[in-house]
Amino acid sequence: MTASQSPTTAEELRGVGLRVTAARVALLETVRRGDHLGVEAIASGVRERVGHVSLQAVYEGLHALAATGLVRRIEPPGSPARFEGRVGDNHHHLVCRSCGVLADVDCAVGHAPCLTASDHRGFAVDEAEVIYWGLCPDCSTPAVPEHRDH
């Protein structure tokens, strides 16, 4: 592999010490092609590519991928876990209080960890996780009443 080539999904899995299987390749690629997918949507995407795979196997695969840093688990309070392939850049998220849509937003200010704790209590802080809550454009725009002829 030359410096200009990106590693294949299989090479990335091997690089973090995971055994390469068709299901793991499909799992990682499904998460990366998706947009903050939940476990059911990921399982559906994997099944489209490799056939039957149990939900338990999907959970186990996602756990292994998240533990190695190849995917990121996001779990806003009150929401089911979602997964994304955008990792390593300390970005944050916007969450709609109404419909639950989730969107990426770049680091709050400056370089990671973006925010400085008022008292780090001796911790060597290297990451900050911020969730901005509000209403997405679709939910914050009042619905236009239908015009009815009487």
107 is in an annotated binding site: no
Rounded CA separation 67/76 (Å): 18
139 is in an annotated binding site: yes
Q: Classify 74 in phi/psi space as left (phi over 0), alpha (psi -120 to 50) or beta.
A: beta
Measured between its terminal Cα atoms, the distance across the chain in Å is 71
Q: Classify 36 in phi/psi space as left (phi over 0), alpha (psi -120 to 50) or beta.
A: left
Query: Binding site: residue ranges?
Result: 96, 99, 136, 139
Residues annotated within the binding site for Zn(2+) are 96, 99, 136, 139
